[in-house]
């Protein structure tokens, strides 16, 4: 123990992944998808993983079962909810409140909370967890992460190209009938 904090392989961590935030950031910034296996290995390192939870929003017209099955096989616990369509045509589908509640509930069993999101709405959560003695690490794409979230975190790690799957762009001759 150094300075009241547990280090190395004794450090207990929990990982909370805002899948929608990461999906749209990876797509917009890198035309890629995240390799969640590499992300998990990189984030955990030599530490003791207590829980890794991936928060998914399901769209009615998209089958994400192969994606969620793959995450489960990698060791992520899946929390899923349906995208809500409002009468005015807008949609609502985020897990901010669920991530906050779960991380606060699990924090007493952890030394470090790892938040995989760039959403600045999490700043008060980060500050509260730190005030209760947790290290809070934020892992995200720097270009789509709120500066306040980076500042609030105990440690910030930018997602590197090595943690991505590159998407193949459609070529003109890949389109049927062309």
pLDDT tens digit sequence for 74-126: 999 999 998 888 888 777 788 999 999 999 999 999 999 999 999 999 999 99
CA distance 154 to 152: 7
Instruction: Please tell me the distance from the alpha carbon of residue 128 to that of residue 7, in angstroms, as a whole number.
Output: 21
For the four alpha carbons of 83, 84, 87 and 91, in that order, the dihedral sign comes to negative
The vertex-93 CA angle with 70 and 116, nearest 5°, equals 55
What helix, strand, coil percent values describe the chain, rounded to 5? 40, 30, 30
137/128 Cα distance (integer angstroms): 13
What integer pLDDT is reported at residue 4 of this predicted model?
45
pLDDT for residue 168? 53
DSSP assignment of 106-169, as one string?
HGGG-SEEEEE---GGGHHHHHHHHHTT-EEEEEE-GGGS-HHHHHHSSEEEEPPGGGEEEPPP
d(CA 27, CA 122): 22
Query: Which residues touch 147 (CB under 8 Å, ≥6 apart)?
Result: none
Q: Are 114 and 134 in contact (CB under 8 A)?
A: no
Give the distance from CA 26 to its chain's centroid. 12
pTM of the model: 0.86
Please report which helix (H) or strand (E) contains residue 37, including its range.
Answer: helix 36-44
Question: Domains in the chain, ordered, with CATH?
Answer: 8-167 (3.40.50.1010)
Q: Is 50 exceeded by the pLDDT of residue 66?
A: yes
pLDDT tens for 128-159 read: 999 999 999 999 999 999 999 999 999 999 99
Based on C-alpha coordinates, what's the Rg of the chain?
17
Cβ neighbours, 10 Å, residue 89 = 6
Each residue's pLDDT tens digit, 4-53: 456 667 999 999 999 999 998 999 898 899 999 999 999 999 999 999 99
């Amino acid at each position: 123990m150094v300075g009241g904090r547990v280090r190395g392989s004794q450090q207990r961590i929990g990982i909370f992944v805002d899948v929608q935030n990461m999906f749209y950031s990876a797509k917009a910034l890198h035309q890629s998808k995240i390799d969640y296996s590499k992300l998990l290995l990189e984030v955990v390192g030599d530490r003791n993983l207590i829980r890794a939870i991936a928060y998914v929003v399901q769209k009615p017209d998209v089958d994400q079962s192969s994606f969620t099955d793959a995450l489960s096989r990698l060791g992520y616990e899946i929390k899923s909810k349906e995208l809500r369509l409002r009468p005015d045509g807008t949609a609502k589908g985020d897990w901010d409140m669920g991530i906050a509640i779960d991380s606060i509930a699990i924090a007493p069993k952890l030394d470090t909370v790892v938040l995989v999101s760039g959403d600045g709405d999490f700043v008060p959560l980060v500050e509260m967890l730190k005030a209760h003695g947790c290290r809070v690490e934020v892992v995200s794409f720097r270009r789509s992460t709120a500066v306040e979230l980076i500042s609030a975190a105990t440690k910030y790690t930018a997602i590197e190209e090595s943690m991505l799957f590159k998407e193949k762009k459609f070529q003109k001759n890949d389109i049927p009938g062309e």
